[in-house]
């Protein structure tokens, strides 16, 4: 479906990120993932496990919430003689609390990691894509960016902000062969969702028409399609995959 490209997946060692990294590898792409500063040993163990499972990725240190760290990431990738053709802004965190209990620290952490990061990383790579006349930027938002969620004013704000960024940059890059799209997963069975209290999660799943959590591989298949050559007419979109929980 696609030529061989180099793909960078931020947070590629997490649940959805790992599934995307594997799907890209299966599609024949070279795959770069990031790991957080100070977690190099864990990252090496993760890479070894991937190799054991038949996958080969390159890992780079980066804190996507930190602009300087993203500049250094781009420098390291360039120094390795690589160019990023496909960027998936996937890294993200939750720090849930009602506004009454939400601290300034947890507002800032979520906005910086989930929204500033999209600027910080995209800024490093979009011009290269435009200069080469081909690129894919895929921003992982959330169903809660569209519908909001009790206790997630920080997370929903960041994920909603991704839509404005996506639609604006899509217009700026449309004539350059670079597409920019958002993917909004519903509840997917990863560590992020396992952090939700079981009784709350049970109520959430009860609201999902298909009656289950999504699988990381399902999101990865969608992302792989958007990253492919045949998806060149798709830009500025926000693609939902949420088991019918929120239809728009």
Write out the residues near ligand NDP by the rule CB under 6 A: 10-11, 13-17, 34, 36, 39, 62-65, 90-93, 113, 140, 142, 185, 187-188, 190-193
**Of 13, 8, 17, 9, nearest in space to 216 by CA:** 17
Number of residue whose CB is nearest ligand NDP: 14
Q: How many residues does the structure list for the chain? A: 248
* Torsion-angle region of 46 (φ positive above 0: left; ψ -120 to 50: alpha; else: beta): alpha
CB 178, CB 169: distance < 8 Å:
no
Shorter beta-carbon distance to ligand NDP: residue 40 or 131: 40
Q: How far is the CB of 175 from ligand NDP (least distance, A)?
A: 29
In whole angstroms, the minimum distance from the beta carbon of 231 to ligand NDP comes to 20
163 tagged catalytic: no
Report the distance separating Cα 10 and Cα 8, nearest Å.
6
Q: Are the C-beta atoms of residues 90 and 116 closer than 8 Å to each other?
A: no
Give min distance, CB of 58 to ligand NDP, in A.
15
| Shortest CB 228 distance to ligand NDP, Å | 20
Which one, 130 or 239, has the nearer CB to ligand NDP?
239
Nearer to ligand NDP, 1 or 200 (CB): 200
Reading the block at residue 42, the tokens are: 């864990």
Provide CB contacts within 8 A for 48, sequence distance 6+: none
Nearer to ligand NDP (CB atom), residue 27 or residue 188: 188
Kindly list the catalytic residues: 155
């Amino acid at each position: 479906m696609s030529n061989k490209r180099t793909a960078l997946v931020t947070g590629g060692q997490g649940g959805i990120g790992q599934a995307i990294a594997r799907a890209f590898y299966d599609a024949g792409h070279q795959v770069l993932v990031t790991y957080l500063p100070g977690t190099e040993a864990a990252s090496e163990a993760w890479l070894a496990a991937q190799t054991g499972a038949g996958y080969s990725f390159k890992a780079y240190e980066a804190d996507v919430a930190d602009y300087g760290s993203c500049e250094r990431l781009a420098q390291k990738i360039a120094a390795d003689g690589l160019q990023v053709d496909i960027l998936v802004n996937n890294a993200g965190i939750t720090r849930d609390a009602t506004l009454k209990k939400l601290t300034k620290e947890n507002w800032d952490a979520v906005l910086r990691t989930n929204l500033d990061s999209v600027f910080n990383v995209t800024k490093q790579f979009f011009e290269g894509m435009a200069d080469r006349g081909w690129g894919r930027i895929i921003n992982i938002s959330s169903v809660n960016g569209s519908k909001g969620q009790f206790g997630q004013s920080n997370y929903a704000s960041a994920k909603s902000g991704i839509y404005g960024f996506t639609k604006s940059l899509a217009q700026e890059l449309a004539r350059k062969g670079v597409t920019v799209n958002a993917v909004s997963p519903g509840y997917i069975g990863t560590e992020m969702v396992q952090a939700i209290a079981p009784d709350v999660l049970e109520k959430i799943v009860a609201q999902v028409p298909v009656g289950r959590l999504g699988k990381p591989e399902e999101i990865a298949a969608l992302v792989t399609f958007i990253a492919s050559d045949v998806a060149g007419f798709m830009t500025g979109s926000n693609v939902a995959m949420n088991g019918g929980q929120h239809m728009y």
